[in-house]
Amino acid sequence: MVAAEGDHKVTPAELFFDLVFVYAITQVTALMAAAPSPVRVVGAMTVLALLWWCWCCFAWLGNVVRADAGALFAVLVTVMTVVFVVSLAVPEVFADAPGGLSAPVVFVVCYGLVRALHWTSYWISSPGDAALHRTLWHTAVLSILPPFALLLIGCWYEGTPRLLLWLGAVVIDYGGVYVTGSSGWRVNSPGHFAERHGLIVIIALGESIVAMGVGVADFPLTVAVIAACAAGLLLSAGLWALYFRRFGEPAEHRLGSLDGEARTRFARDVYTFLHLPLVAGVVLVALGMKKVLTQVADTGHYALTDPLHGTVAWSLPGGVGVFLLGAALITLRSTGRRPTVLLVGGVCGLAAGPLVELVPALVALAVLAAAVLGLVFLHGRGEPARHRPAHPAGTAAGADSAATAGN
């Protein structure tokens, strides 16, 4: 394995690796769209959390070892194959169809294989790092084997028991990171780490656009369909602008200003944990946009005045609310400021489901897009200029500048 330097950037091999997660995220949306309900949404978010953990494992590994050289590239291709199989199983993890292999068992076994490949690769990547090896042993005992056992046990149950067991596995797996500590883990290149997570946000936004296309498949192209697509694209563009023009850049600067375990803890909190609500929010929005496009295009079953209903009506603004609350926590952790606009927007988004059921679906999508674009304007006008350091992150002057911006 070839060590990555401090100026390491994202490699084409990692972009290639991300392609299977494009499909995986699409499958999570399909899992919810097949039978929208609160329980199904919780189940889909549980699956997404497991997939997210698989992706994060190799984002960390790719920061200390080059993904495009040596043995790690072969590992990535192997993991891509396994994750693709996982993605194929996603639509049936809670309602296994008759015939063939058991989808829940395939999902869990392949998930365990990904974790095992990551653990082994990390061990090999640092043969003389006693602190990392000790942490890896603790991780295996406390936050890999117990969750895997719960996931496997859950395969033999159906419905709510399986969901509860899998939720328990996610809680143990995620919580185990804080129990085992950050000793031995490291972020060699802040630029690479931030870019990797920015790219996965773009992938999630791309999936929301794909969902709109799926929603109008096999229906004629009309003016209303074009208007709905335009509104959906503006909504995605607003979320993109919030991330890349507002709170993503200060987070990257703050990461570059830190060193050692402080940097590791910040990367864990802001990127590994708080980027999950961003991706989850976009997936929920994608469900809502898909249903809006279907209703607008299917004139044989819906009128343009028909609203969204139930879980789908909540997912459209609720997904935006989850995204905004994640953004607010990232801003708070990165800069120490209280992001009032994001917090208010997030709470309003989570509570706006009943209002969406009162207006036509196309109107709800258009109003939501306008509201998000308004938040882009309101949240921290001029902030990027104030947070951009005068020196490159990683230098002493750059660290002082970024720390000042954070305060």
Rounded Cα distance between 347 and 200, Å, is: 25
Q: Given this model, what pLDDT does residue 401 score? A: 39
Model confidence over 172-209: pLDDT tens digits? Answer: 999 988 888 777 788 999 999 999 999 999 999 998 99
Mean pLDDT, rounded, for 77-97: 93
| Cα atoms in the 13 Å half-sphere on the side-chain side of 141 | 8
Q: Given this model, what pLDDT does residue 185 score? A: 86
Model confidence over 289-321: pLDDT tens digits? Answer: 999 999 999 999 999 999 999 999 999 999 999
Tell whether the model's pLDDT for residue 160 goes beyond 70: yes
Domain positions in the chain are: 12-183, 205-407
Q: Given this model, what pLDDT does residue 70 score? A: 80
Nearest to 292 by CA among 351, 354, 237, 368: 368
Task: Write b or e for each residue in 187-205: b if 16 or more Cβ atoms lie within 10 A of its Cβ, otherwise e.
Answer: bbbbbbbbbbbbebbebbb
pLDDT band at residue 143, thresholds of 50, 70 and 90?
Answer: confident
Whether 267 contacts 187, CB under 8 Å: yes
Rounded Cα distance between 365 and 287, Å, is: 12
Among 98-107, 174-183, 231-240, 269-278, the minimum mean pLDDT is found in: 174-183
Q: Given this model, what pLDDT does residue 381 score? A: 60
Most confident of 137-151, 275-289, 383-397: 275-289
- 136 is written with which tokens? 């890896």
Among 54-58, 146-150, 355-359, 403-407, the minimum mean pLDDT is found in: 403-407
Q: Given this model, what pLDDT does residue 347 score? A: 97
* Overall pTM surpassing 0.85 (yes/no): yes
Tell whether the model's pLDDT for residue 402 goes beyond 50: no
Rounded Cα distance between 389 and 391, Å, is: 5
Mean pLDDT, rounded, for 4-14: 87
Place of tokens 């791309």: 206
- Average predicted confidence (pLDDT) for the chain: 89
Task: Write b or e for each residue in 221-246: b if 16 or more Cβ atoms lie within 10 A of its Cβ, otherwise e.
Answer: eeebbeebbebbebbbebbbbbbeeb
- 259 is written with which tokens? 């060193």
Model confidence over 344-400: pLDDT tens digits? Answer: 999 999 999 999 999 999 999 999 999 999 999 887 664 444 444 433 444 433 433
Q: Given this model, what pLDDT does residue 406 score? A: 40
Burial class (CB in 10 A: 0-12, 13-18, 19+), 147: buried
Q: Given this model, what pLDDT does residue 5 score? A: 81
